[in-house]
Structure 1
Amino acid sequence: MALADEITFDEALSEEMAAAADQALMTAETRFAGEQIVARSLGAHVDEARIARFGFWVPELQDARVPSGDIFLEVLRPTEPLDLTRSHQDVTFERIYIPVIRTEVHCFVAVRGMRAGTRDAIGDFYALCWRDAEDGWHRILDPLAISLPFGAMAPAELYDVDAMLGARGDTEYWQALAGETPHKFGPVTNILQIHVPTATGGGTLASLTRQFERLAARIEADLPLEPSDMLFAGYEGVQLLPVEPTTVYETGPDFWEESDGNDTSVTVSLLRPNTTNWGYDNVIAGMATVNPVLLETGRPDELVDLAAVLHNFPGGPKRLVFDVVYGHSDNQGLRVLSGHFFAGPNMYGQNLDYQNPAVRAILLEMQRRKVNFGADGVRVDGAQDFKYWDATAQVLRHDDEYLQSMADIVQDVAGTSYRPWIIFEDGRPWPEEDWELSSTYRSVIESQRDDDVFQWGPLTFAHNTPFLYTFWLGKYWRIRECLNVGSNWISGCSNHDTLRRGTQVSPKLNVNTRLGNTRMEILDKAYDNPAAHTLTYVALPGVPMDFLNAMARASWGFVRNQDDKYGVKVVAEEAISLRWQVDEYSYSIPGNFTRLKALGYETREDLSRFLTFLPALVEVTDYDLEDIARLLNTTEPKLAGPQYTVDSLKEIARAWMDDMHEYCNITHSLGGLDPVQCNFTHDLRRFRAARPWLRDNYGQKDHFSYLEPLVGRTIFTSLRHGPDGEQVYSVIHMEGKETGDLDPLRLGVPGTEGFGWELALASPGIGKDYISGPLILKDSMALVFTRKD
């Protein structure tokens, strides 16, 4: 049957939808309140009668004076089955245009006969289309789509969201939380931060789900945990780096490329999305759904499956935290969204116009729909970037009201209403020059109504370098802040940003060589450090967070292969990471850096020499690619690699990004994990979980200090008192020379006098037979004692 014979326009229902939107905008107390009501009807929905309803916010059509008779819903149905697991396929789609009902800046349409996608079936694709005076056609894509198999720059798939969410495997978990008022999630004990593409060999949400299924099965069967299991064990919270659609290749190929089209059909060359990205280069469109690159099956159900496995975990649920990026859009957002979404350029791309009531409502609706996949918490990236221009005062102001609105959203999963736990990353006044000194990391905490709102703390924010001498003593003033006001901070030094910044530091600085014999060992131990972990999990308040790549001692960096214009510049900025993360042996492994080797960089030394020249030339030529290529070709002796041209430089940049992305996958480091270190960090997590009161700020009887005189080392001491009378005492050698014989229980720390202390934890390097008494402490060693008062 032809598509035109199956699909019909329901004019009466479309009129009803438009009238409801008009009524909301006319009668709501404020324009924003009205737009919030309308935003619920935007995007695509399948109702109980299997009628597809669509709503679009289209102020650009009003700007262009496009008449209603030239606006349509475009419906596309493949004439043969699609396989979303194929790399490439050429598919013919039937096409039909459905009229819409327009009301000012909104368009609505109800359609009968459309096929909605499910886990097992591909649905019809759609977009809004309009025709210009020359009979040229233009698309407006759905920014609120729930399924984008070919990315945010392509038509969306109509998806049966109710069927997806109704089949979730954690319904009992949610129903147990139901009450007369929305359930409010509080903080977890600790967090494992995960970048999905580098967390497993498969690099997808489905493969990550299988990883947790395997771990759950082993725990349920009481089987011993291997070091690779321990990386994922002992965490109450799992925070995914952003899983929304990101940018696409600047110069193509597009994942959806059309040819041979007419009013009734179109042939499309379809590519399975395969970009690599660390997650933060979003285009705002598609924020309500999942990046198709992360979907093994191409179905957004994979995210629901992960939530279910975590919530049903044996021994107690693991909570899922989404990382959302609404503080900016990459410039590619201009390709897919109306200019009304944006308030002008910034260092990342584009600011968003939070003061536009419709934009404000749509962004919050995107967040609501995304979290309804089943997240217990939300981490808001770059909250200091949520700003607006106050024309009266002629200043930029932080939009704290919008941040409060993010925290106020009520979610609904499996019939249970709830409000997630909210975490903000906010380093204001960053990016001002004195931000490291003047930021309190409490701006949002102090402005929000809820007392369980969290922020990233000062030891978690980007520019931390624990592999440089005097780092810990230099940060002591921040540590003192943690003791007094850190209960609502995320703590810990290893995350996606700190590890990336660490690899950009010059190795010529005062590096703590006691951490390892090579730069790779030094960097690995700095971010997976027994002493730092003990400080975070035992001594400091707040909620500890670990980054999976750091805990696995795997590599990490700024991985993004979409750039064309600035790709070479980005590689120049990342070039120094070669010195920190890649040694001759790692480079020589046949499966590593295959693209760069194919371009002529057969050894690490070949690549290192090129990457030594590149950053200098980027700077001296002011990033003139033609000049850079010319100068590279004149070096003596001749550089390895291809003949240098603008095109070959871009090819090298792409090869670097793709090779580094593969190199950062933690599967490469699993065989080298130290069982003793993995056991220790796992024991620390269990120790913290058994003592939730350690999250609280220090009380009057608690003590924290460092041993004096320093004599070439920084040793912290901490004494904490639990509500049940337990004392927890730790001695932590953060950096520097080893001690002579030192008795940790005879250091004169107030409150440690007397007997009854028992050793609870000893870091690697301390003998298993040690119980108490004098010992020699070396860099990165730590001891934890407990006793009942």
Structure 2
Amino acid sequence: MSLESTEEATLLPDETAALVERHESIHEEHDDAFAAAKALAPELGAHVRDGHATIGIWTPGLVEHGVSPDAVKLEVLTPPAAVDPSDADPREVTFERSVVETRRAGEVTYAAVEGMVAGTRERLGSLYQIVYDPEDADSDADPADLPGEVGDDGLATVQDPLADSVPFGAFAPAELYDRARLDDERDDHDYFASLGTDAERVATREDDGLPRVDPATSMVEVHPGTATERGSLGGLADFVGGIGEKERAGEDLTAFEETFAGYDAVQLMPVEPLTERSDASGDWRGLARDGDTATATVARPDKVNWGYDIVVGAFGAPCPSILESGRPDELVDFISACHTLPDPVKVVFDVALGHADDGGLRILPDRFFHGPGMYGQHLDYLDPMVRAHVLDLQRRKMDWGADGIRVDGAQDFRNWNPETEEMEHDDAFLAEMDAVTQEVAGTEYRPWMIYEDGRPWPRHDWELASTYRTLIEQHPHSFQWSPITFAHNKPAMLTFWASKWWRVREVADMGGNWITGVANHDTVRRGTQVDVPESWEGDPINRYLGDSAPEIIDRAYDNPATNALLHCLLPGVPMDFLNANARGPWGFVRDTDAEWNVKVVADEHNLLDWQVREDDYADDRFFTRLKELGFETREQLDAFVKALAATVEPTDYDLEAMCAMLAPLDPPMDLTPANLDAFADAWMRDVADFANLGHWRDAQDPERTGFARRVREFRQDRPWLRESMRLPDAPDDEGPVTADADEGTDRFGYRNPANGSVVYYGLRESPDGDERVLFVGNMEGAATSVVPADLFDEIALDAAAFDAELVAPSVAAERDVPPVVDETVELANGEAVVFVGGAER
């Protein structure tokens, strides 16, 4: 029967028996429980087969609590063909309802079904979930311990953790989706076919003959929810596709388009389904069953989140909140748009599987969880089926077509060792993650592996103790985030570049396998959490960057000296943040947490100082929800949110007590816990709207964006810069290098004494010896005069052999002729010059 049929869904006994037989044979073939689970996991979830669908869902709780296999059904809900999954407005939909018999093998519930509709780009497919009556459980079972969520009619539902599509969110029934069709129709088949032959994209083949995607040369991090006016992957795909059309036609890019140009990789912040507020009505509610029909109120989720508050359930599916069409095709469209650019751009997925939000407790088997942790729930990676599920979730997500994977918080993959009575890092599991391969458009390959690992975090001295190299040493092909990339780095603070010199020097010396860069979703957010005093006198903020906090934050994370240092001198893969490139706002945004949203807003109270000018708040486009609550002026809002922050610690975050403390301020809204929560929700949504880069497209300076793009293109033309510098031994004081010139071809130092400004300088020589790159930049402090050649006092530089290749716009504007290496150059804070010459010494 065709999967386009809308007839009643029914069980296929023979095909279901084959699923059970396959399950049993896998366990017979593997003595080790984890090996069996790994072999089994790809078989589970929902698959489109020859004319039918197969469903396999791990349901250990049903076995544990004695629910009879005969009492467990598969509920299939097939929508009318006209239902629009893109509609975010709640509406009532009546589904054709079928209740299908299932079979159990071990702890897995199976069904092979005909009559289901497979979802496509054009239409919503059949939804499915496990249903059972809790009364069928053991009589002594605690109802609170039973798996799934119980509806108004008393039936409990269990969701598929391996779902490919969840158009109404992770807490709703999954959709049968035809991924094979999507894979066949994608536009980047040639890109994947070339993986085995294109030497620029594949470094080596592994022992099993599979190619591994080569590291990028430079990368930009993107938050899909704020990157474009549409706030969706579809909008992002069209944005990238528009750049490609212009490049193929030889047309100039706009200044805003230039903020994305010049990279060969993009790292997407997490695109997984999100948690939802425990007290929210949800995007799927009120399912009323009536025989062969069922009616529910549905809506495409419209959640505001930075992406990291995931529930692990349905991790393999794209987040429906950033799918304007409600179709997973948007994710493939974006990847294909990147891959089919004239100069293809790799796509890296940010994978946050080190924990689950507490909401995961509602939809995943209890065995998934080890217990509460810093970010919600620790996962039990020692359970063979949990371990296998998490690995297969990674595989399924990456099989949408990603080139690389960034493992968020790799130091969070830990397990309790009862012998040592300590949480220990599960490096064996991280090795399993590294071993996962992808198959896209008929090509099997190994992705570029990146780990964020700051161990011994959360130990109090982790910033000092972390080497940021543990996983590189275990997996030499992998990359890690560097010491200057982590959240605690705040380049808007005066003496940042001076005090971080020892870490920056490490980047130069051993950074070939590091992701570098000081602008990302975390560093910008942490930067805006710093207090901004009324007076600049004696304050550690780098006031040389600008006259106001917004100017300082913009220029701290996007300035010529930093860009040129990272892209034109230091090794590794520099990563920038699109919001910082565009000098657009950014903050911690999430409206998915009923418990902690008020505290999160309190922690973000300095965002107004750093990101919101008076004119911005007065603009009718911005902060509409907060204005509706009565906060008509920025000053009014600023006073309230700072007072809110001051009440958190004294009240131990008791909302009732906080309201009492805030009452004397006479704010424009009634002070109740519910209203504080509404205030926090309004803040989150208004900040997310404010941060949308669609508002800032026309605010770009072409000279600034053009220079930054040329800096990135400079690196693209010199991929050898990614390798660690060949430095002589550093002196004991870590100051300027004075070793004999024959001890190393490269140089990196800072001017000592500083004399009021921190001047970095460096020299790189290409491996073939044909080219030398000389950098000099005023990283922070007062304007200063520099003679570049004098900084390299141990090397006789031939001034005639160097030309100024990249000159910061403000430096170029003040000169009639380009600077030369043996003459004085005036450099203000954040200005730099890059020279290129031959390799004669």
TM-score range, shorter chain: over 0.9
- Structure 1 residues without counterparts, runs of 5 or longer: none
Deviations 1:562-605 (A, max 9, x none): 22222211111111111111121110001110111111111100
CA contact (8 A) 2:761 2:791 kept: no
Asked whether 1:313 is paired with 2:331, we answer no
Q: After the TM superposition, which residues 212-223 of structure 1 pair with which residues of structure 2 at under 5 Å, given as runs?
A: 212-223=240-251
Partners of 1:647 and 1:240 lie apart in 2 by 34
Deviation at 1:3, TM superposition (A): 9.4
Task: Name which of 545, 552, 558 aligns with 2:588.
Answer: 558
**3-state SS of 2:715 partner:** helix
**3-state SS of 1:218 partner:** helix
Q: Aligned residue for 1:721?
A: 765
Partners of 1:535 and 1:541 lie apart in 2 by 10
Deviation at 1:770, TM superposition (A): 2.3
Task: Name which of 501, 506, 524 aligns with 1:476.
Answer: 501
CA contact (8 A) 2:83 2:123 kept: no
Deviation at 1:306, TM superposition (A): 1.1
Deviation at 1:689, TM superposition (A): 0.7
Partners of 2:19 and 2:453 lie apart in 1 by 40
- Structure 2 residues without counterparts, runs of 5 or longer: 137-152, 198-207, 534-538, 727-743
CA contact (8 A) 2:266 2:345 kept: yes
**3-state SS of 2:358 partner:** coil
Deviation at 1:270, TM superposition (A): 0.7
Give TM-score scaled by structure 1 length: 0.97
Deviation at 1:627, TM superposition (A): 1.8
Q: Aligned residue for 1:486?
A: 511
Deviations 1:634-678 (A, max 9, x none): 23xx33x21211121111111100100000111222222121111
CA contact (8 A) 1:140 1:336 kept: yes
Give TM-score scaled by structure 2 length: 0.91
Deviations 1:1-43 (A, max 9, x none): 9999532211121111112111211221411111111111110
Partners of 1:294 and 1:156 lie apart in 2 by 17
Deviation at 1:752, TM superposition (A): 4.8
Q: Aligned residue for 1:78?
A: 79
CA contact (8 A) 1:460 1:491 kept: yes
Task: Name which of 547, 565, 577 aligns with 1:517.
Answer: 547
Q: After the TM superposition, which residues 102-121 of structure 1 pair with which residues of structure 2 at under 5 Å, given as runs?
A: 102-121=104-123
Deviation at 1:265, TM superposition (A): 2.4
**3-state SS of 1:505 partner:** coil
User: Residues 175 and 604 of structure 1: is their aligned pair in 2 closer, same or farther, counting only changes over 3 Å?
Assistant: same
Partners of 1:32 and 1:57 lie apart in 2 by 14
Q: Aligned residue for 1:454?
A: 479
Partners of 1:195 and 1:787 lie apart in 2 by 38
Partners of 2:401 and 2:287 lie apart in 1 by 39
Q: Aligned residue for 1:176?
A: 194
CA contact (8 A) 2:6 2:116 kept: no
CA contact (8 A) 1:456 1:491 kept: yes
Q: After the TM superposition, which residues 731-750 of structure 1 pair with which residues of structure 2 at under 5 Å, given as runs?
A: 731-740=776-785, 742-750=786-794
Asked whether 1:45 is paired with 2:73, we answer no
**3-state SS of 1:211 partner:** helix
RMSD between superposed Cα atoms in Å: 1.7
CA contact (8 A) 1:199 1:548 kept: yes
Q: After the TM superposition, which residues 77-476 of structure 1 pair with which residues of structure 2 at under 5 Å, given as runs?
A: 77-79=78-80, 81-86=82-87, 87-133=89-135, 136-178=154-196, 181-314=209-342, 316-448=343-475, 451-476=476-501
CA contact (8 A) 1:185 1:376 kept: yes
| 1:127 counterpart letter in structure 2 | Q
User: Residues 5 and 280 of structure 1: is their aligned pair in 2 closer, same or farther, counting only changes over 3 Å?
Assistant: closer
**3-state SS of 1:479 partner:** helix
Deviations 1:115-137 (A, max 9, x none): 11111122111011122326942
CA contact (8 A) 2:79 2:125 kept: no
CA contact (8 A) 2:808 2:831 kept: yes
| 1:717 counterpart letter in structure 2 | Y
Q: Aligned residue for 1:754?
A: 798
| 2:643 counterpart letter in structure 1 | F
Deviation at 1:630, TM superposition (A): 2.2
Partners of 2:594 and 2:154 lie apart in 1 by 29
CA contact (8 A) 2:757 2:780 kept: yes
**3-state SS of 1:75 partner:** strand
**3-state SS of 1:765 partner:** helix
Deviation at 1:169, TM superposition (A): 0.6
CA contact (8 A) 1:80 1:92 kept: no
Fraction of identical pairs, as percent: 42
| 1:722 counterpart letter in structure 2 | S
**3-state SS of 1:698 partner:** coil
Partners of 2:484 and 2:66 lie apart in 1 by 53
Asked whether 1:709 is paired with 2:753, we answer yes
CA contact (8 A) 2:10 2:98 kept: no
Partners of 2:303 and 2:7 lie apart in 1 by 38
Q: Aligned residue for 2:577?
A: 547
| 1:782 counterpart letter in structure 2 | A
Task: Name which of 592, 608, 612 aligns with 2:622.
Answer: 592
CA contact (8 A) 1:182 1:416 kept: no
CA contact (8 A) 1:186 1:452 kept: no
Deviations 1:688-738 (A, max 9, x none): 111111111111221111112211111011011112321111111011122
Task: Name which of 537, 540, 551 aligns with 2:567.
Answer: 537
Deviation at 1:626, TM superposition (A): 1.3
CA contact (8 A) 1:249 1:275 kept: no
Partners of 2:194 and 2:573 lie apart in 1 by 25
Task: Name which of 603, 610, 628 aligns with 2:633.
Answer: 603
Deviations 1:279-330 (A, max 9, x none): 000000111010011111111011111111111111x211111111110000
Alignment: residue pair count = 781
